[in-house]
Amino acid sequence: MQGTEKKAFDTAWVREQFPSLKLQVNGHTAAFLDGPAGTQVPKQVMDAVQNYFLTANANTCGAFATSRRNDAIIASARGAMADFFNCDSNEVVFGQNMTTITFALARAIGRELQAGDEIVVTTLDHDANVAPWRALEEKGVVIRQVDIREADCTLDLEDLKRKITAKTKLVAVGYASNMVGTINPVGEITKLAHAAGALMFIDAVHYAPHGLIDVKALDCDFLACSPYKFFGPHMGTLYGKRKHLEKFKPYKVRPATDLSPECWETGTQVQELIAGITAAVDYIAELGRRSDSTVKSRREALQAAYRATHQYETGLLTRLIEGLQTIPGMRIFGITDAKRFDERCSTLSFRLGDHNPTKIAAFLGDRGIFTWDGNFYALNLSERLGVERHGGVLRVGLVHYNTMDEVDRLLAALREFVSR
Ligand SMILES: Cc1ncc(COP(=O)(O)O)c(C=O)c1O
Q: Is the CB of 392 under 6 A from ligand 1?
A: no
Q: With beta carbons less than 8 A apart as the criterion, state whether 179 and 333 touch.
A: yes
Q: How far is CA 61 from CA 74, 81, 256, in A?
A: 11, 21, 12
Residue 184 Cα to ligand 1 midpoint, Å, equals 16
Q: Is the CB of 203 under 6 A from ligand 1?
A: yes
Closest C-alpha to ligand 1, atom 14:
37
Residue 99 Cα to ligand 1 midpoint, Å, equals 7
Q: With beta carbons less than 8 A apart as the criterion, state whether 40 and 20 touch.
A: yes
pLDDT of residue 1: 37
Pocket mutation for ligand 1, best pick of 98, 129, 155 (most atoms within 8 Å of C-beta): 98
pLDDT of residue 6: 65
pLDDT of residue 7: 72
Q: With beta carbons less than 8 A apart as the criterion, state whether 153 and 124 touch.
A: yes
pLDDT of residue 8: 75
Q: Is the CB of 128 under 6 A from ligand 1?
A: yes
Q: Is the CB of 130 under 6 A from ligand 1?
A: no
Q: Is the CB of 99 under 6 A from ligand 1?
A: yes
- For residue 206, give the ligand 1 atom closest to its CA: 1
User: What is the three-class DSSP state of 224?
Assistant: strand
pLDDT of residue 5: 57
Omega before residue 328 within 30° of 0, cis:
no
DSSP string, 157-182: HHHHHHH--TTEEEEEEESB-TTT-B
d(CA 348, CA 57) in angstroms, rounded, equals 41
**Mean pLDDT for back-to-back runs of 10 residues, the chain (420 residues):** 62 98 98 98 98 98 98 98 98 98 98 98 98 98 98 98 98 98 98 98 98 98 98 98 98 96 97 98 98 97 98 98 97 98 98 97 98 98 97 98 98 97
d(CA 17, CA 287) in angstroms, rounded, equals 10
Number of neighbouring beta carbons within 10 Å of residue 63: 6
